[in-house]
Amino acid sequence: MKLSQAMIVKNEEKNIVRALAWGKRIMSEQIVVDTGSKDDTIALAKQNGAAVFVIPWEDDFSKAKNSAIERCHGDWIAFLDADEYLTKEDAEKLPNIISMAEKTGCDSISASLLELDDEGKVFGGGTLTRFFKNQKDIRYHRCIHEQLSVQKEYDATKELTIYHTGYSASAKREKPSDRNIRLILKELSKHPKDDEMLGYLGDEYRARDQYREAVEAYEKAVSFFPSDLEESNQRAAVTLERLLQLYVFQFAWQKQPNGTTSDMKHISFEQIQALYHKSIKLFPKEPDYDYIMGEFYFGDAEYQEASRSYGKALTKLSTYGFENRALMLMPHIRDTYEKYAFSLYSIGQMKDAVEIATQCIRENHQAMLALKTLLMMFTKDGETPSTVQAILTFLFKIYDQNNLRDKMILYYAAEDANCPEFKKAVLLYFTDEEQDVLLQDKSKHTE
């Protein structure tokens, strides 16, 4: 069996070597179709053994991808983007997985997707179909957010993982391309009730801070949801998440003195509740809706409701995982646990609050809200010498009393929690030189 790797690229010099490296040992050929690179993408691809073809960009991702497919000679094709890759171990599994797929009459293979941030940490996940038979009836369609026309997929999500770096924080800071809106509108001119495309249109407006237009697009998308909407429809789930987030954002903005200047329509609390209940009915395993409501209530200091919402979100995450879910919760998982602990403390659930806050600071010494929560709980009856000493003994099992950064974290947390006696006690562990560093740091913060 021969395997082909294919991709379309433009200005991918940062990714192209890694994009080709994972497939070298198992691929019979590596096809790179370039649509107009101005950097060293083409040269690097050739140096790494790929066959490179240059074609004009015609405002159609499917056309470009199908052009790459037509140049493949393998029995199966691996079509990953330049910012996607497999590990060496998973790549070596691929031939056997393809054999299993063929035995079960499948023409394609789905794999797990993990989104990586700039530090290489996972912040989201999903499922992708990137491996398929090389046959004439399997082609991409739609000029953007293209789809592959396959019939039967082999589920390899527990065996294969695709890592994706394209949505890292640095990538998100890049200015959105007007091309995307143009192509989406082109698709919508042909299919005006396409709820997926309307959802993508909402994403584009949201990325540009055009919130009124985003809400309108998302609301249209929801109105055109099919009656038999499947729970696996991640696009629909994301549309609801982002619409709910914008409803909450607008509701909060309306309370501000200049809130009436917003060009978004007025949103009522009843509308937020209705959308939330619609969302959890359609996607009961999705934690993001509860996370959004947790943020809403926490921002209003409604800690009883915030703790309930955060608790539901975290329970769903631990029960159902983040594959195809939790796109909003996962990047903020540490903050969520801290806010959950603070909310529990605020309503008197001390035992749970202590356990969660302690776990937060064990995993991240700079979890300042969790540390503040612990200090407020431990000193709620006053800062007696014995209480202060007990807190120090407890925290110095987690923080290093000889580490300047750890001591500064404790000092600032004590200041934030209004614990003057504990702050004095921490200061005794600073050397004279370290106290000078602390004073310099404090002066920077007050400038």
- CA 164 to chain CA centroid, Å, is 11
Tokens 């979100």 -> residue: 313
Strand partners, 85: 163
State mean pLDDT over 38-50.
97
With a pLDDT cut of 70, the percent of the chain lying above it is 96
Residue-wise pLDDT for 188-210, tens only, equals 999 999 999 999 999 999 999 99
Q: Is 357 exposed, middle or buried (0-12, 13-18, 19+ CB in 10 A)?
A: buried
pLDDT for 174 equals 59
Determine the pLDDT at residue 443: 81
The C-alpha R_g of the chain, in whole angstroms, comes to 26
Residue 422 in this model has a pLDDT that exceeds 70? yes
List pLDDT tens digits, range 239-292: 999 999 999 999 988 887 765 556 678 899 999 999 999 999 999 999 999 999
Buried b (16+ CB within 10 A) or exposed e, 139-170: bbebbbbbebebeebbebbebbbbbbbebbee
Is 187 within 8 Å of 197 (Cβ atoms)? yes
pLDDT tops 80 at residue 351: yes
Query: Following DSSP, what letter does each residue of 223-268 receive, concatenated?
Result: HT--TT--TT-HHHHHHHHHHHHHHHHHHHHHTSTTGGG-SSPP--
Amino acid 167: pLDDT: 63
Residue 446: predicted pLDDT: 62
Distance CA(242)–CA(240), nearest Å, equals: 6
Cα 154 to chain centroid distance, Å, stands at 26
Q: Which residue reads 């330049």 in tokens?
A: 82
Task: Determine the pLDDT at residue 99.
Answer: 97
Q: What end-to-end distance do the CA atoms of the chain give, in Å?
A: 68
Mean pLDDT taken over the chain:
93
Look-up of token digits 């959308």: 275
Query: CB–CB of 354/374 below 8 Å?
Result: yes
| Strand pairing class (29-34; 3-9) | parallel
- 360 dihedral zone (left: phi>0; alpha: psi -120 to 50; beta): alpha
Whether 150 contacts 107, CB under 8 Å: yes
In this predicted structure, the answer to whether residue 173 has a pLDDT above a threshold of 60 is no
Looking at residue 93, what DSSP letter applies? H
Q: Is the pLDDT of residue 172 over 60?
A: no
Give me the mean pLDDT over the 350-366 stretch.
97
Q: How many residues does the chain have?
A: 447
Q: Which two tokens stand for residue 127?
A: 């499922």
Spatial distance between the Cα atoms of 388 and 391, rounded to a whole number of angstroms: 5
Provide DSSP, 261-280: G-SSPP--HHHHHHHHHHHH
Asked whether the predicted pLDDT for residue 35 surpasses 80, the reply is yes
DSSP annotation of 53: E
Helix (H, G, I), strand (E, B) or coil at 182: helix
